[in-house]
């Protein structure tokens, strides 16, 4: 089961890690490994969401998502998007950006380093919006209840998360941007750049969230029609079929999944810039991680274990929030790559361990409450 589900992921990992070591030595090998773990940790909740929706689709549309979808996710968002970010922020064409990375890595590094404040502001605000929308939402399951419950009450205020994000952007523009780190250890005033890039990050999140909400509403309408058709079949004495979404509903599901996947891809791509500016390391690491996310989605659908580890989604979003803060800090100060790469992994591990402990307590409580059956003589 494991080999059948994760076989392609294992193969891509072997090829990718071997290429990283051959071309860039142990430094490239370590960076690609950290980026792979980062992508998997940030996208675990993506796999959970995907699996929850994918199990309601017909086998045909499941194959479409797991084939065409993986091409869009790996080659589109994880390979092309990082090059596009560098090209836009550095003011060069995509082909020129790749050529510079191959032929003149020193100049390329200088261009990327000087463009880092805008990349960090855009990515930091995008990630911060995801974290704020999660932490300010009211939910039945809380990980750090003493913190999440009061914040959920604040989240009932209209546009509160946007206000907090704009406040964080203003602080970053005032404190970080006037002394933005540049190539060679110099500093420059990047206040206007940080403000514009940060606003673009917030706007991008609002657009992606709006599209996701649109597709979700269309999905709910299609599901209501399907439920009414099932109820009519029952009343007519027919045999209701399993609620598997096909046709137009499945197409909207596919579009919805692609928008969601794109939004989660932003997390990994933008978060990768907190680890390294090397586009080929990012492409390999994020591509390997994306393969595991797809395999994990299949595994969750087949095994039906979506709710077994209840705090993993919380840990992933806390990791997103930590990365957002670190990206904003790197506008002015450099942070060790080990710190930025391992903080998210540590939060995911803490959430996983807390979930395991909770499950053990639940099983122990059920065992205590189970009545003891005695047989008479």
| Structure confidence by residue, pLDDT tens digits, 67-115 | 777 777 766 777 777 677 667 766 777 788 777 777 776 777 677 777 7
Give domain status of residue 278, yes or no. Answer: yes
In a domain, 213, yes or no: yes
Query: Considering the domain boundaries, does residue 366 fall inside one?
Result: no
In a domain, 373, yes or no: no
**What is the per-residue pLDDT across 237-281, written as a single tens digit (0 to 9) for each?**
655 554 455 556 667 667 767 766 766 666 667 667 667 767 778
State how far the Cα of 94 lies from the Cα of 273, in Å rounded to an integer.
Answer: 17
> Residues, the chain, total?
377
d(CA 131, CA 318): 7
Whole-structure pTM over 0.85, yes or no?
Answer: no
Dihedral class, residue 159 (left if φ above 0, else alpha if ψ from -120 to 50, else beta): left
Number of domains in the chain: 1
N-term to C-term CA, the chain: 47
Please report whether residue 91 resides in a domain.
Answer: yes
Residue scoring higher pLDDT (198 or 237): 198
Half-sphere exposure of 197 (CA within 13 A, CB side): 26
Reported confidence tier of residue 169, pLDDT bands at 50, 70, 90: very high
**With contact defined as beta carbons under 8 Å apart, do 348 and 321 qualify?**
no
Quick check: is 182 in a domain? yes
Domain that residue 217 falls in: 2-360
Q: Is 331 among the domain residues?
A: yes
- Domain membership flag for residue 368: no
């Amino acid at each position: 089961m494991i080999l059948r589900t994760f076989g392609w992921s294992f193969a891509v990992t072997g090829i990718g890690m071997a290429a990283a070591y051959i071309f860039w030595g142990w430094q490239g090998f370590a960076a690609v490994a950290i980026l792979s773990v980062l992508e998997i940790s940030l996208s675990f909740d993506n796999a959970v969401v995907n699996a929850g929706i994918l199990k309601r689709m017909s086998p045909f549309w499941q194959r479409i998502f797991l084939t065409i979808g993986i091409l869009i996710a790996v080659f589109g968002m994880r390979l092309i998007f990082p090059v596009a970010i560098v090209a836009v922020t550095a003011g060069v064409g995509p082909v020129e950006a790749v050529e510079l990375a191959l032929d003149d890595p020193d100049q390329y590094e200088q261009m990327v380093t000087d463009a880092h404040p805008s990349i960090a502001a855009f990515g930091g605000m995008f990630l911060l919006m995801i974290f704020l929308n999660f932490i300010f939402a009211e939910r039945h399951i809380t990980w750090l209840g003493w913190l999440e419950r009061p914040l959920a009450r604040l989240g009932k205020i209209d546009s509160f998360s946007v206000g907090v994000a704009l406040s964080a952007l203003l602080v970053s523009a005032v404190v970080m941007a006037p002394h933005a780190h540049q190539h060679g250890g110099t500093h420059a005033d990047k206040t206007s750049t940080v403000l514009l890039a940060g606003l673009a990050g917030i706007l991008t999140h609002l657009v992606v969230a709006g599209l996701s909400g649109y597709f979700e509403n269309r999905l709910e309408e299609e599901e209501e029609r399907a439920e009414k058709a099932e109820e009519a079949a029952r009343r007519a004495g027919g045999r209701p079929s399993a609620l598997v979404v096909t046709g137009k509903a499945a197409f909207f599901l596919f579009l919805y999944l692609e928008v969601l996947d794109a939004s989660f891809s932003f997390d990994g791509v933008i978060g990768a810039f907190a680890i390294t500016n090397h586009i080929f390391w990012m492409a390999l690491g994020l591509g390997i991680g994306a393969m595991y996310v797809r395999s994990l989605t299949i595994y969750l659908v087949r095994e039906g274990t979506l709710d077994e580890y209840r705090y993993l989604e919380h840990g992933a979003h806390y990791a997103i929030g930590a990365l957002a803060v670190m990206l904003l800090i790197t506008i002015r100060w450099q942070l060790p790559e080990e710190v930025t790469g391992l903080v998210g992994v540590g939060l995911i591990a803490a959430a996983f361990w807390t979930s395991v402990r909770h499950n053990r307590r639940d099983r122990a409580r059920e065992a205590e409450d189970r009545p003891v059956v005695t047989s008479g003589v």
